[in-house]
Amino acid sequence: MRYPFIMLLATLALSPSAQAAHASFKCNAHSSPVEKRICTDDELAQLDASLASLYHVLLKSLSDEEQSTLRDEQRDWLESRNACDKAADIRACIKAEYHARISELKDR
């Protein structure tokens, strides 16, 4: 009877929702205000990790020229995301930026 209970606990402990999300970048004292917000918010950190994964998979599938274009686009997007520090609702702005970018990358 104890074995199923232990397996249930192990499954719950290893599920993605039970684990704290981590951003795709190092969180430190030199992080921007937007990055600090991402580092302290599990949902935003999960969005960041998902975007980073999608970006890297897509990047590997492109030609050198297309990779260069995607990198430029990503730098532009990061500027847009970082501008959220001026928004009235910083969290909502960051979340919207991630959802829009993830959607753009998925459409490729």
Whether residue 7 is predicted with pLDDT greater than 60 in this model: the reply is no
Quote the mean pLDDT of the chain.
85
Q: Rounded to two decimals, what is the model's pTM?
A: 0.77
Q: What is the 3-state secondary structure (H, E, C) of the chain?
A: CHHHHHHHHHHHHHCHHHCCCCCCCCCCCCCCHHHHHHHCCHHHHHHHHHHHHHHHHHHHCCCHHHHHHHHHHHHHHHHHHHHHHHCCCHHHHHHHHHHHHHHHHHHC
Q: What is the pLDDT of residues 11-62, one digit of tens each?
A: 443 444 444 578 887 788 778 999 999 999 999 999 999 999 999 999 999 9
Check if the beta carbon of residue 49 is closer than 8 Å to that of residue 22: yes
- Looking at residue 20, its pLDDT comes to 56
